[in-house]
Structure 1
Amino acid sequence: MNRSGVPEPRIEYAPKHYLCKRAGQPLVLDGRVDKAFWDAAEWTDDFVDIEGDLRPKPGKRTRVKMLWDDDYFYFAAELIEDQIWATLTERDSVVFYDNDFEIFIDPDGDSHQYYEFEINALNTVWDLLLVKPYRDGGPPVNGWDISGLKTAVFIDGELNRPGADNRKWSVEVAIPWTSLKECAEGGRRPAPGEFWRVNFSRVEWQTEVQDGEYRKVLNPETGKPFPEDNWVWSPMGIINMHYPELWGYVVFAGGEEQQPFTLPEDERIKWELRRLYYRQRNYYEAHGEFTQDMKQLMGEDAWSIQPVIETTRSLFQISAPSSDGTALICIREDGKLWRE
């Protein structure tokens, strides 16, 4: 088991939220997002840098729409771009070596057993299942595929042609619940009013034109490409998408008018437990054991919970009562959250 330190994100806990409405008709995928199917869906907020306010706003707009029905979870993404390129054509390639669009889904919000999906402008996809985040030992299951997946890409311009009048590329994705419910609570699709944790990322490399082709700009000091930009819907406060606790809340609407989203109090309790998990893991990295001293972990910060900690030399569990007092919310050394 991985017991390395876990960097604590530099961000206030305020994940984005989105009301996902029911689709009113079947989707015929062609990659275009300007058709009647998507009219009922609102755009998300424009993407920001993965570190949030710590970094400048992206220079190119990215936004997403979502819908759902009994069979699929639907996504539409619009990526403004004047340099539209892609090179990878084999499924399950490391697609983020190209510019790409990515979807992350944690159905039950426990930060374990979640999905990652990536697609480039050639409609090449990489889909994988994460048993745990990499910080907790992973591993990724690359052999897992989304059975029944449907995707399409539309190029408003010309692919891999420098100098073309490029405006944007857009993506449509339909993921069947038969694949997603594998990691969902109760092994089912969501019910109206429930939420799943979701985030999106856009990877953008610095490029230049050499010999009539797009090439990544190399850092003259290292001879390697400059690091890519990562633009996201819900900011992470750290350059790492694999902190599922910071992804947005997607609420699935039914036919009736949905009340405005308010972050449930239990979600704030989970976040405070998560912060203690970060600190306990970092204490272990420094001292080779977990501490039972809650004051050591809590410091002088303000907390709304009165947690209980149980430890052995190599394991820990921290718990706090739920907001209604009927259950305990717990977190352990590998980051898994649960109620009991």
Structure 2
Amino acid sequence: MSYDNVPEPSLVFNPKHYVCRKSSEPLVLDGRLDKSFWSQVPWTDDFVDIEGDLRPKPAKQTRVKMAWDDEYFYFGVELIEDEIWATLTERDSVIFYDNDFEIFIDPDGDTHQYYEFEINAFNTVWDLLLVKPYRDGGPPVNGWDINGLKTAVHIDGEINKPGAANRKWTLEVAMPWSALKECAKGGRPPGAGEYWRVNFSRVEWHTDIVNGQYVKRKNEQTGKPLPEENWVWSPMGIVNMHYPELWGLVWFSEGDHPIDTKLPQVEIAKWELRKLYYRQRKHYTEHGQFCDDLSALMSDDSWTVEPHLEATKGMFHISARLASGEQVHIREDSRVWVS
């Protein structure tokens, strides 16, 4: 098997975190966030560019609220927007061809078997499961659906009507644990005090108004649409959402039980091993085999773990033992696990 290069992201590893509190109130979805269910639920930080500090802050605000109960994982989303439009109406269309909002969830944080969800202003959705990230061969499972999914969109303005007094569009999503637990540790929903890896993306296309309609702005030389803007909750340092190791941490809380959101040592160790994974993949593309010299991979960076490397021409396994006694592992297809 051949392995492609996997670029190392340009960022300081510091994923966002959010405390998601358990709700005792039922949610009737209508897309509006001005109801009692959401009144005491905090917002995430405003979204930033997908590359983080490498690019300017987004021109339009995006933020999310999250809650949970025994049946669902809830999301309330606000997208400030003066150009509200959509074209796609068939489920499982490639929704990011429109302006859209996207949710990514990796329940057990191993970077494999994770979920992607996209929705546009027509309330058209695309849900799929990724067996592996595309960099590691995928594939996406488009036939997978979130059974029992509930969604609603509210338009504060008028859709597909340039010149309307548009302010924003908001949406609500309820994802049942019965579907999400499929790829979770132990095949179960999260418990209070546990966390899942989650991120969000907003795709925003540049548009012009032509004959009274929104049309994607084109590059005059190529005739193709200009690249879209990608705005996210937890920055990626690279224009690619399919680096699950960079997503934020959503901690699940119940009652008044305090949550320590300090980045766990196991996540720091995973990140350090992932840096070695990026460098192994780069070495493979340059030399046709993986490196068996750990010191050549570790360069001059500072490390909190002492990795152990086993490598053949076409495979590798790197592990590190933590002070807690846990051992973290990574292999050539980026899967990380703890024993």
Q: Which bracket does the TM-score occupy, shorter chain normalised? A: over 0.9
Cα distance 1:2–1:100, how it changes in 2: closer, same or farther (>3 A)?
farther
How many Å apart are 1:323 and its aligned residue? 3.3
Name 1:155's counterpart in structure 2. Answer: 155
Using the alignment, how far apart are the partners of 1:49 and 1:192 within structure 2? 31
How many Å apart are 1:306 and its aligned residue? 1.1
Name 2:270's counterpart in structure 1. Answer: 270
Cα distance 1:172–1:2, how it changes in 2: closer, same or farther (>3 A)?
farther
| Structure 1: gaps of 5 or more residues | none
Name 1:100's counterpart in structure 2. Answer: 100
> What SS class does the counterpart of residue 102 from structure 2 fall into?
strand
- Structure 1 runs (4+) deviating above 2 angstroms are none
Contact 1:21-1:40 within 8 A present in 2 as well: no
Using the alignment, how far apart are the partners of 2:221 and 2:241 within structure 1? 27
Deviates more, 1:257-266 or 1:40-49: 257-266
> What SS class does the counterpart of residue 284 from structure 2 fall into?
helix
Using the alignment, how far apart are the partners of 2:259 and 2:76 within structure 1? 24
Name 1:330's counterpart in structure 2. Answer: 329
Cα distance 1:4–1:41, how it changes in 2: closer, same or farther (>3 A)?
same
Contact 2:251-2:259 within 8 A present in 1 as well: no
| Structure 2: gaps of 5 or more residues | none
Does 2:49 match 1:55? no
How many Å apart are 1:182 and its aligned residue? 0.1
Of all paired residues, the percent bearing the same amino acid is: 67
TM-score, structure 1 normalization = 0.99
Contact 2:16-2:249 within 8 A present in 1 as well: yes
How many Å apart are 1:305 and its aligned residue? 1.4
Using the alignment, how far apart are the partners of 1:162 and 1:2 within structure 2? 49
Contact 1:266-1:323 within 8 A present in 2 as well: no
Amino acid at match of 1:333: E
Contact 1:265-1:323 within 8 A present in 2 as well: no
Using the alignment, how far apart are the partners of 2:241 and 2:257 within structure 1? 32
Name 1:224's counterpart in structure 2. Answer: 224
Does 2:189 match 1:189? yes
TM-score, structure 2 normalization = 0.99
Using the alignment, how far apart are the partners of 2:102 and 2:45 within structure 1? 16
Amino acid at match of 1:223: G
How many Å apart are 1:183 and its aligned residue? 0.1
Using the alignment, how far apart are the partners of 2:232 and 2:332 within structure 1? 28
Using the alignment, how far apart are the partners of 1:315 and 1:133 within structure 2? 18
Name 1:24's counterpart in structure 2. Answer: 24
Name 1:129's counterpart in structure 2. Answer: 129
How many Å apart are 1:303 and its aligned residue? 1.2
How many Å apart are 1:257 and its aligned residue? 3.1
How many Å apart are 1:2 and its aligned residue? 5.4
Amino acid at match of 1:130: L
Name 2:288's counterpart in structure 1. Answer: 288
How many Å apart are 1:247 and its aligned residue? 0.2
How many Å apart are 1:3 and its aligned residue? 1.0
Name 1:301's counterpart in structure 2. Answer: 301
